[in-house]
Amino acid sequence: MHRLLKITFAFWFVAVLLTSPVSAQDRAAVVQRLRAELAILLNKDVAQLPVDKPVTELGADDLDIVEWQMAAERAFRVDISSDNNFDPKELSISSMAEIVLDSPPWPKGKTK
């Protein structure tokens, strides 16, 4: 019985760690990386890209957004599903960061 409690506690502890909220520092790092990736695509200085303004207002078109999504998937090794219905006209750097943070990791063996 004691062993069962230890195993149960261990699984519970791991579950809590895996579902704990992302720290502000982690979120800030994701935002900065996404900002840098978008700056490369738009050929702009990173400092020119506010994080809360829609990327279409920053000069991104639909193709830029798709390329940015793919760059985010590679950079963070996450799978941003195609059923993630975001409106390109509303998509900002900070909202893309939330999408990245909520996305599942790549399947094992995927190298993209």
What tokens does 15 get? 């579950």
pLDDT at residue 17 above 70?
no
Closest by CA to 64, choosing from 94, 96, 32, is 96
**pLDDT higher than 80, residue 30:** yes
Residue type, 4: L
Q: Which helix (H) or strand (E) holds 109?
A: none
pLDDT band, residue 15 (cuts 50/70/90): very low
User: Considering only CA atoms, which of 46, 43, 15, 34 is closest in space to residue 98?
Assistant: 34
| Domains present along the chain, CATH in parentheses | 23-102 (1.10.1200.10)
pLDDT tens-digit profile of 33-91?
999 999 999 999 999 899 999 999 999 999 999 999 999 999 999 988 766 667 878 99
